Amino acid sequence: MKVREEFTCPLELVHDMIKGKWKPIIVWRLRLGPTSLSKLEKDIDGITQKMLLEHLKELQEYRFVEKKVFEGYPLRVEYSLTKEYGEPLLEALGIMQRIGIAYLKEQGKEQMLIDRGIISP
């Protein structure tokens, strides 16, 4: 994915880098530590392997995510957040998560959050 040459502000640039349904979810999942492609696909409901690979590639190009390939057979690959951009982005996503939780609680959906293991009873 190509970064635009002109943008209104740096926030617009970062928005372009992480926009889409899945990129923030992938980064949020990677907060739990390095993981394989198959584990990511299993943990993120509704994402296809093709879409996951496409978004991981873009997140790698923007240096939010790094890919580590291990030698040997069978081939083993792990994805993780970079210290440079991935971990700082996680702070922003954490704020967004807290806002989402507060909003859902106000809407009377606290039980759904509990059922999904997002908050404790």
What are the tens digits of pLDDT across the range 32-77? 999 999 999 999 999 999 999 999 999 999 999 999 999 888 889 9
Tell me which residue of 55, 26, 62 sits closest to 43, measured CA to CA.
26
pLDDT exceeds 90 at position 78: yes
DSSP H stretches of helix in the chain: 10-18, 23-30, 37-43, 49-61, 86-106, 110-115
> Which domains does the chain show, CATH number per domain?
10-115 (1.10.10.10)
pLDDT over threshold 80, residue 4: no
